[in-house]
């Protein structure tokens, strides 16, 4: 073991932990991590418990061995999805996030020392990986108790696992994740908390809970955002897919948005009824279904699922944004698979994977097969809305690992039903074309939207924050706003659209708008929208509508493009809903009006507050048709 550890160049703090702890394991393979998930006895069901001062042994998770993977479940509903306010910053570098010292009125050094000392008393696990991927990533490690090996297996699948057998000498971690679950009870009243401590030479992430969403997933996202903030690039919160039409045209769409905004769904095949029909929407008052004809769907080649690395070293002279996946595995939510056949291709991979997977919040029976439509039941008797699986990229069919140039950047918004009797912001049509300046504003306000299954929140409209990745960032909002604006300025050949999901006016649509938009835009050969085919949306922050949309020779009803034409919504309901959007923008944009904001950004925000026209936005940043 000493020979293995000599391959690392650890900080003095990590060395002190390893010199004092009971034992250290550095797994050489992912299979070894999975085996460790069931404890030294190798049982089929293993309870992860920790002694907590004043409480005794506390059950944090149960790990079950199934034929197709390791299934981790949590006894508390609260621990089954990410708390959106779990990130805290403890250092003195620039930040707009809550600081530990301000929230708890004590120095973080006390908790940091206690955490490191607790780790010194444990049997430990080191998982080496590259944050952001092999080619453009940064050396990192997870330091965790051995009895949380399932968490290590999750990390090894999410990021580029580095086998110690293949590692070159001098592996110097740029980031360290310390896993110490008991402290959520003794310091944080049982809440999920992830503390980021940005030192000059290493980014420390202290994870005080066992749900990997806030730390192994989004904590590493925060590491990349912090490095990018210092180096002048960012990582977009986006899925990306190369779309190939039945006529062999190719385009690349990058779909951004808050958690639950349809990123994973953008890389999925269009969902059909058992008879092959495609349901565009269901009227929530009459239950009438509207169908569309779609015989030949496009071929999909996924590129990214949630984190799109936009490193400056990757950009070229195409005047389009160039991206690459920042992950080695995808943290897929399975709530949309409710029965056999809902997603046949994915179901086949999950039920019979090439090697066992890591599942979370799923029903599990020892030795049986974990089925993707059998989600753990919450205490209210309903299925958990956040069932997850980590799917390695290598198991994704037709996955693209190369750099790609983005033709279309879409932005997804979860929208509630809207009627004249109950108006809401569900007034976004099937899809809208946005001038670049407006596209930037949408990325500043980033609505979290309606009925979000990924996090603990209400249905009230709130902001995910700048870039829709703000919950994971540790720095300054205005810095990220400037980075996004520079990104848009420097990629003028990339176009922008806005797509709702869940509802269009009175119609329940699920994620069908983005699937239909994807098919239509791809068939247009790169979305060269002609001005004569566009009309201004009634609400100008929604940009332009298509005058008509025809797919496979069939027109889509106009009231799906312009919800004000729906009898149940009308002009009255639409205008009230649009007013909610405008008020939301007014409240959210105010925080960016600071001296540090790029002068071009100030001009765009002033245009909004002056009720500027679409022509005004296009004068600031030209829109390519």
Strands (E), 334-467: 357-360, 388-392, 404-405, 408-414, 432-434
Cβ count within 10 A of residue 424: 21
CA distances from residue 53 to 184, 189, 291, 510 in whole angstroms, order as listed: 11, 13, 59, 46
Is residue 147 predicted with pLDDT exceeding 80? Answer: yes
pLDDT confidence of residue 260:
81
**What pLDDT is stored for residue 383 in this prediction?**
96
**Can you list the domains of the chain with their CATH numbers?**
2-37+82-231 (3.40.449.10), 235-321+406-620 (3.90.228.20)
For 309-318, what is each residue's pLDDT tens digit? 999 999 888 8
Q: Give yes or no for residue 521 having a pLDDT over 60.
A: yes
pLDDT mean over 418-434: 96
Determine the average pLDDT of the residues in 365-387.
96
- The region of weakest confidence among 281-285, 412-416, 521-525 is 521-525
In this prediction, residue 462 has a pLDDT band, given cuts at 50, 70 and 90, of confident
Residue 453: how many CB atoms within 10 A of its CB?
A: 16
Write phi, then psi, for 127 (nearest 5 degrees).
Answer: -115, 110
Cα separation, 410 vs 400, whole angstroms: 19
Q: What is the pLDDT of residue 341?
A: 86
The predicted structure's pLDDT at residue 271:
87
Q: Which DSSP state fits 97?
A: S
pLDDT score recorded for residue 394? 94
**36 contacts 152 by C-beta, under 8 angstroms:** yes
Tokens for 474?
């540790």
CA 439 vs. chain centroid, Å, equals 19
Mean pLDDT of the chain: 94
Token pair 């001005």 is found at 531
pLDDT band at residue 201 under the 50/70/90 scheme: very high
Backbone dihedral angles phi then psi of residue 93, each to the nearest 5 degrees: -80, 165
Helices (H), 24-73: 30-36
Range scoring the smallest mean pLDDT among 92-106, 422-436, 451-465, 604-618: 451-465
pLDDT digits (tens, 9 = 90+) for 473-512: 999 999 999 999 999 999 999 999 999 999 999 999 999 9
- Mapped onto helix, strand or coil, the DSSP state of residue 446 is coil
CA distance 274 to 589: 45
Q: Mean pLDDT over residues 566-577, rounded? A: 97
Reported as a single tens digit per residue, the pLDDT across 335-375 is: 889 999 888 889 999 999 999 999 999 999 999 999 999 99
pLDDT tens profile 22-39: 999 999 999 999 999 998
Q: What pLDDT score does 455 carry?
A: 54
Residue 294: which pLDDT band, with cuts at 50, 70 and 90? Answer: confident
pLDDT confidence of 276, banded at 50, 70, 90? Answer: confident
Instruction: Provide the whole-model pTM.
Output: 0.93
| Burial class for 14, CB neighbours closer than 10 Å (0-12, 13-18, 19+) | buried
């Amino acid at each position: 073991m000493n020979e293995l550890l000599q391959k690392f160049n650890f900080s003095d703090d990590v060395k002190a932990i390893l010199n004092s702890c009971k034992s250290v394991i550095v797994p050489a393979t992912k299979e070894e991590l999975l085996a460790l998930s069931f404890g030294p006895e190798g049982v089929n069901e293993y309870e992860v418990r920790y002694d907590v001062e004043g409480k005794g042994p506390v059950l944090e998770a149960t790990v079950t061995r199934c034929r197709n993977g390791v299934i981790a479940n949590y006894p508390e509903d609260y621990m089954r999805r990410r708390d959106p306010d779990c990130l805290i910053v403890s250092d003195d570098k620039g930040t707009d996030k809550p600081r530990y010292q301000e929230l708890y009125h004590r120095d973080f050094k006390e908790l940091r020392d206690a955490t490191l000392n607790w780790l010194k008393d444990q049997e430990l696990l080191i998982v080496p990986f590259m944050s952001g991927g092999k080619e453009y990533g940064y050396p990192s490690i997870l330091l965790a108790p051995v009895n949380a090996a399932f968490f290590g297996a999750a990390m090894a699948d999410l990021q580029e696992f580095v086998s110690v057998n293949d590692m070159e000498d001098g592996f110097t971690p740029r980031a360290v994740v310390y896993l110490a679950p008991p402290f959520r009870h003794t310091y944080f009243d049982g809440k999920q908390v992830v503390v980021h401590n940005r030192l000059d030479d290493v980014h420390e992430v202290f994870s005080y809970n066992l749900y990997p969403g806030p730390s192994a997933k989004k904590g590493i996202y925060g590491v990349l955002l912090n490095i990018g903030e210092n180096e002048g690039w960012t990582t977009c919160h986006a899925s990306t897919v190369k779309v190939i039409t039945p006529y062999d045209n190719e385009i690349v769409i990058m779909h951004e948005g808050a958690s639950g905004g349809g990123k994973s769904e953008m890389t999925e095949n269009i969902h059909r009824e058992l008879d092959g029909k495609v349901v565009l929407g269901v009227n929530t008052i009459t239950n009438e279904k509207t169908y569309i004809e779609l015989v030949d769907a496009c071929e999909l080649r996924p590129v990214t699922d949630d984190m799109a690395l936009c490193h400056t070293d990757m950009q070229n002279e195409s005047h389009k944004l160039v991206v690459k996946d920042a992950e080695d595995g995808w943290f897929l939510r399975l709530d949309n698979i409710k029965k056999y056949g809902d997603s046949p291709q994915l179901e086949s991979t999950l039920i019979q994977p090439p090697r066992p997977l890591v599942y979370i919040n799923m029903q599990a029976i020892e030795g049986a097969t974990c089925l993707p439509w059998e989600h753990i039941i919450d205490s209210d008797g309903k299925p958990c809305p956040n069932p997850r699986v980590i799917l390695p990229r290598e198991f994704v069919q037709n996955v693209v690992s190369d750099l790609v140039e983005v033709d279309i950047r879409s932005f997804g918004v979860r929208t509630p039903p809207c009627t004249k009797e109950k108006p809401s912001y569900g007034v976004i049509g099937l899809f809208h074309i946005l001038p670049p300046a407006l596209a930037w504003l949408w990325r500043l306000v980033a609505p979290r939207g309606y009925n979000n299954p990924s996090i603990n929140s209400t249905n009230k409209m709130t902001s995910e924050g700048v870039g829709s990745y703000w919950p994971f960032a540790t720095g300054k909002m205005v810095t990220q706003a400037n980075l996004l604006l520079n990104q848009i300025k420097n990629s003028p050949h990339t176009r922008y659209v806005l797509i709702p999901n869940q509802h269009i006016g009175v119609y329940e649509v699920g994620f069908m708008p983005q699937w239909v938009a994807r098919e239509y835009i791809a068939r247009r050969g790169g979305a060269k929208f002609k001005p004569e085919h566009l009309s201004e949306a009634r609400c100008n922050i929604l940009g332009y509508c298509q005058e008509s949309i025809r797919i496979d020779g069939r027109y889509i009803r106009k009231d799906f493009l312009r919800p004000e034409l729906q009898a149940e919504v009308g002009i009255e309901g639409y205008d009230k809903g649009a007013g909610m959007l405008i008020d939301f923008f007014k409240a959210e944009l105010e925080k960016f009006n600071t001296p540090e904001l790029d002068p071009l950004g100030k001009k765009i925000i002033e245009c909004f507050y002056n009720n500027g026209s679409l022509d005004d936005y296009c004068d600031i940043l030209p829109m390519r048709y």
